[in-house]
Amino acid sequence: MKTRRLIIRATVAVGVVLSLMWFYHVLRSNMDVLTRDATAPYGRFVLSVRSFFVDASDLVRGVTRMRTEHASLSAEVADLRVRQLFLEELQLEIARLRHALDLGYAPPDFVCAEVVSRGGASGWWKTIRINKGTKHGVHRNRAVLNTRGLVGRVVSTSAETSDVLLLTDLNSKLSCVIEGVGPGTRGILSGSGVSGSEDSLALLHMVEPMSLAYLEKDLKIEKGARILTSGLGGLFPAGLPVGEVVDARTDATGLFQRARVAPYVDFASLDRVFVLVTRGRAGIEEVVR
Amino acid sequence: MLVMFVAVTLASVLQELVPPVSPFSVKAPWLLAVCVYYAVRREWMWSVAGAVWCGVMQDGLGGIPYGVSLFVFCLIVCVCVFFVRKQMPDNTVTCMIVSVAGGVIVETSQYVMLLVSGEYVALPSIYLLGRVMVFVALCLPVAGVVAGVVRLMDVVSGNAGFENENETFGWNAC
């Protein structure tokens, strides 16, 4: 009798699991969005609590220091406003000229976002979750930057949040160029450069240099050379700063060089980022007008 | 149901917001711990419900191919219902031991499925081993804390009680 009951229970359990797996298949595209949006309010709450305590600790640390900081920031804002005036003029000119040549021009536009969490829920990917989603104009494959350089790209979005794959992730691949070296400097930048042939102890380092592969074998690469996005593939605009060369050597095949690249961005202390969103056709026409 | 809702929601938020542990970027297994608690210490229906709920949240929040965590969590429930409960005492230590075994299965199966689905690059075996070790090390304290807290909530809300003086917090106490 007991065995029979156990068999019935096991059958019911298997039935439930199988039907849920079928539901999973049906709801595949919506499940992650649903779960993420369900936890988004808690993330916002934690973010606001954290901001409150950071503000409070700043206040406690000293009004004098804040006043000095305020003065220097005010001067910097004034300086940047003047520069922006010139840049806006240049942007208009570029837009007009490109429009005249029928090349099209989408002026860059940014959405500022705060980092809600790191690593997702599984920790398999080096990602951050930001508090802006499709509702705010953030979509997949948009470049994400901070004031130092490129942070990564948006890999998934929901209405309220977006996940950003960091440049240092193993699965991140990006076409880059070395500034000022000449032709043939284009390579593929990947995160951390883990492979069986490399020293596995390097994996224990918290900041792992990225790897720029498929560089021409005879190219002379100097330490400290700047790495910028190439603009190939159309996802990222060209010229976004990524990092600088640490060293370079011939790779295992002997056909190319591989350079180790130190990122400009301090990924451990990311708290605010900017998502590059384009305004689209309406934006172009607005600028041209 | 309310206790389970609170436990799963809290675990989801913690799973999401607590930063990963260096050097292998491992997240503390809060949802696994909740699933193991229900698998070890509550009636089988609640165990299945907890496994399904935690599995859905884990897959949805973690970007894992759908069904992997759900399947593994349900497997843990089956093992607990048919074997663990008959062989081991019903207490927090059992939860910790089961969560360690479950952690190894969860981490390995997630990696295999990510690799098979082409969503992840092949890792050196030492890296994978290191990741599993850190994950297992995190399972022990997290499972202990979660089992203690959720049990307390169950007892306070009347879902479970003292079975007798010698065996505290029996899963079939009520």
pLDDT tens digits, A206-218: 456 788 888 888 8
Confidence at B127, pLDDT banded by 50, 70, 90: confident
Total count of domains within chain B: 1
**Residue B1: inside a domain, yes or no?**
no
Which residues of chain B have a CB within 8 Å of the CB of A129?
16
CB contact under 8 A, B13 and A43: yes
Does B52 contact A17 at a Cβ distance shorter than 8 Å?
yes
Residue B37 CA from chain centroid, whole number: 7
Share the mean pLDDT of chain A: 79
Q: What is the pTM of this model?
A: 0.74
What is the pLDDT, as a whole number, of residue A288?
A: 52
Q: Which residues pair with A145 in a beta bridge?
A: A150, A274
A214: left (phi over 0), alpha (psi -120 to 50) or beta: left
ipTM tops 0.90: no
Mutate to test the interface with A, among B8, B61, B106 (most CBs of A within 10 A): B61
Q: Does any domain span residue B16?
A: no
Question: Is pLDDT at A197 greater than 50 in this prediction?
Answer: no
Task: List the beta bridge partners of residue A157.
Answer: A162
The minimum CA-CA distance between A33 and chain B, rounded to whole Å, is 8
- In-domain check, residue B120: yes
Residue-level pLDDT at A154:
92
Contact B16 A129 (CB under 8 A): yes
Judged by average pLDDT, the poorest of A22-26, A169-173, B55-59 is A22-26
Task: Identify whether B4 is part of a domain.
Answer: no
Is residue A205's pLDDT more than 80? no
Query: From the list A24, A119, A195, which residue is nearest B27 (CB)?
Result: A119
Reply yes or no on whether the pLDDT at A144 is more than 90: yes
In a domain, residue B167? The reply is no
Residue-wise pLDDT for B55-108, tens only, equals 888 887 777 777 788 888 898 988 888 888 888 888 888 888 888 998 888 888
Residue B169 falls inside a structural domain: no
Nearest to A13 among B17, B70, B78 (CB): B78
User: Is residue B93 domain-resident?
Assistant: yes
Are B60 and A122 inside 8 Å of each other by CB? no
DSSP assignment, residue B21? B
> Nearest CA to CA, how far is B154 from chain A (Å)?
23
Asked if B74's CB is within 8 angstroms of A17's CB, the reply is yes
Nearest residue on chain B to A207, alpha-carbon basis: B23
pLDDT in tens, A69-125: 888 899 999 999 888 888 888 888 888 888 888 877 667 788 899 888 877 777 788
Q: Is A63 exposed, middle or buried (0-12, 13-18, 19+ CB in 10 A)?
A: exposed
The predicted pLDDT at position B62 comes to 76
CA distance B91 to chain A (A): 23
Indicate whether B173 belongs to any domain: no
Average pLDDT of the segment spanning A20-48: 69
Q: For residue B107, what are the domain limits? A: 27-159
Whether residue A54 is predicted with pLDDT greater than 80 in this model: the reply is no
